[in-house]
Amino acid sequence: MLYGVRRRLEGVYERLLEREVSGAPTHVAVIQDGNRRYAREQGAETTEGHRAGADTTEQVLRWCGDLGVEELTLYAFSTENFERPPDEREALFDLITEKLRSFADREEVHDRGVRIQAIGEVHRLPDRVREAVAYADRRTAGYDELRLNVALAYGGRAELLGVARDVAREAAAGDLDPDAVDVSEVERRLTTGPTRAVDLIIRTGGDERTSNFLPWHANGNEAAVYFCAPYWPEFSRADFLRALRTYQSRQESWRRTRARRAAALLRAVGDVELTEARRVFGRFRDRAGDDESVDLLDVETAD
């Protein structure tokens, strides 16, 4: 009885949130934190927490398709995760392999035109994971309606360090003019990254940090960030809608700030031009003498 009432209230709340969200970000990146803590609180093995989290991933992919998000990047396995206990690490590799192949064969993925690819130092992963990555890539190669990037063996600093080394090496060899290195050149070399700048980062599990995740694509775009308490397996559609609402509020705040800055700039320019015009007119009047009269039309700047 109480469960049914709760579900109805949650449904009403979700519909209310949907009405408050007028537009979705183009690219959402997610740090899926809390799988292990969720498992411990459930009295289950760590692998069960990761498996429950994988189920959440499927739902989020569906929500993105429904709400118009064009790119989703998931932080599935960081370079730091290689330091985890061997048993846990191997179980993670098994789950990633299973889910990549399952996603690539899923009818919904093909109906929605989802392009699946891995980003990161994939060469560091076991053969079975690399084969699953290649399989998902082949199966979805012709799609581009929604891009799903699975960050595997990924570390943002390592990615940027690799680019810096390549640029320095080519510049030292005389093959690259350092002055020619601009934003587009760096982005061209970020072969392990997503295709678009990140608009919104979501982190579950209560921690308020971005953990070396997509520093170029997110920080350079001043992405909005949404931190929430639920563990990744508990992340709900209402949580996702609240994250989108945070992004939308950030965008509206930017628009208001830009409008205020533009108005201030116009006032400043107008004041300068009016002062200069009066100064020039004063000179002209002095030279014209008393026999000539000139009318000056005062133009006030608008607030």
Which of 209, 244, 268, 234 lies closest to 72 in space, CA to CA?
244
Question: 274: buried, middle or exposed (CB in 10 Å: 19+, 13-18, 0-12)?
Answer: middle
Torsion of CA 200, 201, 202, 207, to 10 degrees: -140
User: C-alpha distances in angstroms, 252 versus 164, 171, 197, 234, 258?
Assistant: 35, 42, 19, 29, 10
Place of tokens 């308490």: 229
Active site residues: 33, 81
What is the rounded CA–CA span in Å between residue 40 and residue 51? 13
The pair of structure tokens assigned to 288 is 């014209």
Which segments of the chain are extended strands (E)?
Answer: 27-31, 71-78, 114-119, 146-154, 200-203, 224-227
